[in-house]
Amino acid sequence: MNIKLSDHFTCGKLVLFALPTIGMILVSTTYDLIDGYFVSNYIGKTAFAAINIIYPYLLAIMAVGMMFGMGGSALIAAELGKGNRELANSYFTMIVKAAFGAGIVLGGAGFIALPTASGLLGATDDLMNYGLPYGRILLCFMPITILSYAFQSLLITAEKPQFGLYFSLINMMSNIIFDWLFIVFFGWGMTGAALATAIGMCLNCFLPLIYFLRENDSPLRLVKSGWDIRALRDAMVNGSSEMVTNISTALIFIFYNMQLMRFIGEDGVAAYGTVLFVEGIFAAIFYGLAMEATSVVGYHAGAQNYGELKSLLKNGILLNLGFGVVMFGLAQYFAPWVANIYLGYDAKLYALGVYALSMFAFAFILQGFNEYASAYFTGLGNGRVSAAIAFIRTFVLQSVGIFGLPMLLGADGLWFAQTFAEVLSTIVAVAFLVKFRHEYMG
């Protein structure tokens, strides 16, 4: 089905349009699993630990690509909605150049700061021996990586979300092949692991570039363009919520581990791993719908189609709440099965994993709604509200829950921390939707 941004989006069409993006995100989650398998089995556990220490630092820099992608998509889609295709393509080209330029600056700065940052993240000398070569190589490729992240959203605006899935599948296959070739066959160690990842990112960057440099059947292509600093600033501010979300997620992961070690010990960290496995799969669905919303809402906001904007809000809320309830039920039902996969070797640990996932699952009910509300405001061009929802939800309230709830509920407070954040975030999101209803109701 060839779905256009200008279409009327029923719940069914929203799901169909989001499916390739959901698939892309799910495939992307396999990259770390593949790298982890080869590094852990063929280089060693210290090397594997080094990646886990270094990666949040790299992820924080990569998140800039999501900022350009989501904020740029809303800007470009709004111009398409207004019928300004030439200006939309000019903005599209500007966003691509800006993302690449930001990658050069941040990659260089990150390269210089990597040893200091690694130490702050807890890397020992042994971990740095493995982590620094890995991190430095990936930082050299950061301009390409940031642009590949931006293309994930921009392909949706180009009405080609399926391309994102295809490119991710190609990336996954190249990752498997080059991990085996560089690590197992040539024995290049961490250098080989980093190069395998970098080659995959090159494919995710250059394949879209080739497509958009040529005549194509999408609304977008790369053209000669200048710089509109005000529009670029607005796109960056508007897309900042997605960057905030990803940086906050990395920090919250650290906070969880700190508190779990304090209240439960290593068993708590292991049990949290089962939660993250399920949460990662479900989050792909929520995030896919949110990424889609940015482009579609942006188009209809530009066209001032207020009836469609109200429909997108209503259908998006219904879908996300519906999926949330289903995911809560699935998490409850499959908790023993998932825990058995990861923790079945220890009866006590298995029981803790089942309990942790069953309690954490309440967060899934409202998680999608809050993701969608933030993305909806990004699509409307109201980046400040979008960023406020994201920051309050993913950092402020989760931090309060992680450090505050255990004082009242003990270790159980940690399994309810995200539910606590989602409930209060829903109140915040609803308040913003009411206050700024003129932006989508006309």
Cα(23)–Cα(80) distance, integer angstroms = 26
Q: Give burial (CB, 10 Å; 0-12/13-18/19+) of 2.
A: exposed
Place of tokens 């996932």: 357
Domain spans, the chain: 24-238, 245-441
CA nearest 217: which of 284, 273, 163?
A: 163
Return the pLDDT at 135: 94
At 238 the pLDDT is: 87
Asked if 65 and 219 touch (Cβ cutoff 8 Å), the reply is no
Q: Is the model's pLDDT at 273 over the cut of 90?
A: no
Residue 255 has pLDDT above 90, yes or no: no
Tell me which DSSP letter residue 363 carries.
G
Amino acid at residue number 195:
L
pLDDT at position 290 over 70: yes
Say how far apart CA 136 and CA 142 lie, in whole Å.
Answer: 10
- What Cα–Cα distance (Å) separates residue 15 from each residue in 121, 251, 287, 316, 438? 39, 31, 12, 10, 27
How far lies 38's CA from each of 138, 182, 303, in Å?
Answer: 17, 10, 49
pLDDT digits (tens, 9 = 90+) for 116-154: 988 887 777 888 888 899 999 999 999 999 999 999 999
> Residue 180 has what DSSP assignment?
I
Token pair 């496995």: residue: 277
Residues 5-35 have pLDDT tens digits of 998 999 999 999 999 999 988 888 777 778 7
Mean pLDDT, range 233-243, rounded to an integer = 86
pLDDT of residue 252: 86
In which residue are the tokens 């994201």 written?
390
d(CA 247, CA 249): 5
Predicted model pTM: 0.87
Tokens of 197: 């990842």
Give the mean pLDDT of 318-325: 96
Tokens 């879908």: give the residue: 319
Tokens of 172: 């996954």
Please state, as a whole number, how many other Cβ atoms lie within 10 Å of the Cβ of residue 62. 21
Residue type, 269: V
Percentage of residues of the chain with pLDDT beyond 90? 66
CA-to-CA dists, residue 108 to 66, 101, 137, angstroms: 19, 11, 11
pLDDT > 80? residue 269? no
Q: 359 falls in which pLDDT band (50, 70, 90)?
A: very high
Q: Check residue 1 and give its pLDDT.
A: 58
Residue 127: its pLDDT value, please? 82
Listed in sequence order, the residues at least 6 apart from 135 whose beta carbon sits closer than 8 Å to its beta carbon are 54, 57, 58, 114, 118, 194
Mean pLDDT (the chain) is 90
C-alpha span between 430 and 197 (Å, rounded): 40
Instruction: Decide: 127 and 50 in contact? Cβ < 8 Å.
Output: yes
Two tokens, residue 223:
């053209």
Question: Residues 196-217: what's their mean pLDDT?
Answer: 94
How far is it, in rounded angstroms, from Cα 387 to Cα 406?
Answer: 28
Q: Which of these, 46, 52, 47, lies nearest to 190 by C-alpha position?
A: 47
